[in-house]
Structure 1
């Protein structure tokens, strides 16, 4: 081996030091959000421009809203995450628990839908959809059934053993569907007595399984176990893209608005970068990428896309316009008691 000259050694050492310095400057931000399609979409298509601009790596901590909230609460005094995505109802709870810090003014806030401003921007909606109904097109075709049209179809005796319902304590989908049914029975977001009273003689006998995670829908739809279930247009589109025979239906009484919201976690270790990430995720650029690559409908009204994504955006905006929002302040006052009652009287 030919020995390196003194100048070559010095140059190599300097290069090594320079590389180390660059690597040392790269910071990591941790963001809690759903795994699966959401994690894939944001990791592969959305985070990149922000990471390059700020010399930072954004790492997803995957989990459902309840899991992410529990992690944030457990580490409240020394947060391990910097930003978190939660379903809107769970986000209202997080704000009330003091887990979020107010998002700083940024140009992207002005473009948001009014409903996307949560508690004076303590949190903001990143993507908006609805919970309605989805049905297994193969099962329905085999049985000669017409597509469902109403929330009350969940109680139709012909679907006995073919309805899959998401557990109320762990699923926003399940809670939305229960509240919609409760409203049709004369209840309100503050009074769910009509829904609980009617359940054992209506929807209850039709349910083949109560599931804690909607990810199981994919498996049950493929096997034919799941014929009818509360679901979103976005998730239905994702299943269809995988060849699973599922179609979304907007109930004639209206679907229920479902937002995924973000907040900057209070007292996190990188407050400025976390604020920058939250601002970026509200931008037309970021939300267009999420729509085009993951079918996540934007909350920023300035997002402009073309082709299939534009058609999807128009369709979703019409669906959202004809849907109702939940009074989360009222619901969260009572949800713990509802969960207990559900576990004792429904899933016992």
Structure 2
């Protein structure tokens, strides 16, 4: 069996696909997922077991969830990706557009936390995440500040000029922060008026910069600009691995659930293998490997995390009962309008 190969750019993967018209018979399958730490964790520690067991090569097509969705749409008539990892909000859009097929009934589905199973089993959570509060420990120590405890800390005047917020129009983390505060102020996914009305007099004055994604945060932590920002435990762990003085806090109102879901692409060239890959990725052994290699939090309740993750996150069974689950159908129905309003009213 050939060694697992990953491609540094999605374009290279699709060049290979285009050059190999009979690729569905070559025992090579393609999966779309985020690049960087996630890709490295899966390609080095998780996927090799599936390759060996099935005499198949798995090639990663890296990209953000939005990138992968765009590729699925562009090739929906003749899909070139067998399965895809998508953030839950993007996955809801993919399902509504008819890009995903029902997962085969399998015992592994019953091992998942209930919220990780999508309606109709058209996809399932492969990685559990939650958006909470990350903070710069060095800066907080220098200022003599206690760790944050609430989403409302983003509106605390003492943090003026030290809050970094991802754009709600382009980042799930930013959108989660907006919706969490909106709920505290009496709103819901059907009514975001409280957040848009209060933002300019609460969080807005504290924000030093709105950023399109989280890529710039490490630099802003190093310079001392970023003191407080929405992020996930996995995102914080990635920063800690770089030696940055950051920590994660679950806000007392509860973090916002953020799943990475796996989708079997409808009409893919090798459905049997794609379904087997999805079942493998949802299994406890695969998720344990992902936790060890990339600090990916399991959605399979039988999977065990390394001791270091258990220590930092606590009891996952308890934590999942505290997360806020948002209504992605309602969000996606109004997302374009919210994005325009955010860009014109908040990031003007």
Do both share a fold (TM > 0.5)? yes
Q: Tell me how far apart the structure 2 counterparts of residues 287 and 83 of structure 1 sit (CA, whole Å).
A: 17
66-75 vs 90-99, which moves further = 66-75
Larger radius of gyration: 1
2:259 paired residue number: 259
Q: Tell me how far apart the structure 1 counterparts of residues 197 and 313 of structure 2 sit (CA, whole Å).
A: 38
Structure 1 residue 241: Cα displacement: 2.3
RMSD, matched Cα: 1.8
- Where 1:105 maps in the other structure, the secondary structure is coil
2:90 paired residue number: 90
Change (3 A) 1:301 1:211: same
- Where 1:47 maps in the other structure, the secondary structure is helix
Q: Deviations over 1:204-237 (max 9, x none)?
A: 1211111112122222212212110001112112
1:79 equivalent in alignment to 2:56: no
Structure 1 residue 148: Cα displacement: 1.0
Q: Tell me how far apart the structure 2 counterparts of residues 34 and 306 of structure 1 sit (CA, whole Å).
A: 22
- For 1:211-250, what aligned pairs fall within 5 Å after superposition? 211-250=211-250
Q: Deviations over 1:160-207 (max 9, x none)?
A: 221111111221111111000111111111100110011111111211
- Where 2:332 maps in the other structure, the secondary structure is helix
Structure 2: runs of 5 or more not aligned: 1-22
1:160 paired residue number: 160
Structure 1 residue 63: Cα displacement: 1.7
1:65 equivalent in alignment to 2:65: yes
Change (3 A) 1:297 1:24: closer
Contact 1:164 1:210 in 2 (8 A): yes
1:144 equivalent in alignment to 2:144: yes
- Where 1:147 maps in the other structure, the secondary structure is coil
Number of aligned positions between the proteins = 326
Q: Tell me how far apart the structure 1 counterparts of residues 135 and 312 of structure 2 sit (CA, whole Å).
A: 19
1:19 paired residue number: none
Change (3 A) 1:160 1:304: closer
- For 1:1-348, what aligned pairs fall within 5 Å after superposition? 26-305=26-305, 307-311=307-311, 314-348=314-348
Q: Which 4+ runs in 1 deviate beyond 6 A?
A: none
- Where 2:120 maps in the other structure, the secondary structure is coil
Contact 1:68 1:84 in 2 (8 A): yes
- Where 2:268 maps in the other structure, the secondary structure is coil
- Where 1:321 maps in the other structure, the secondary structure is coil
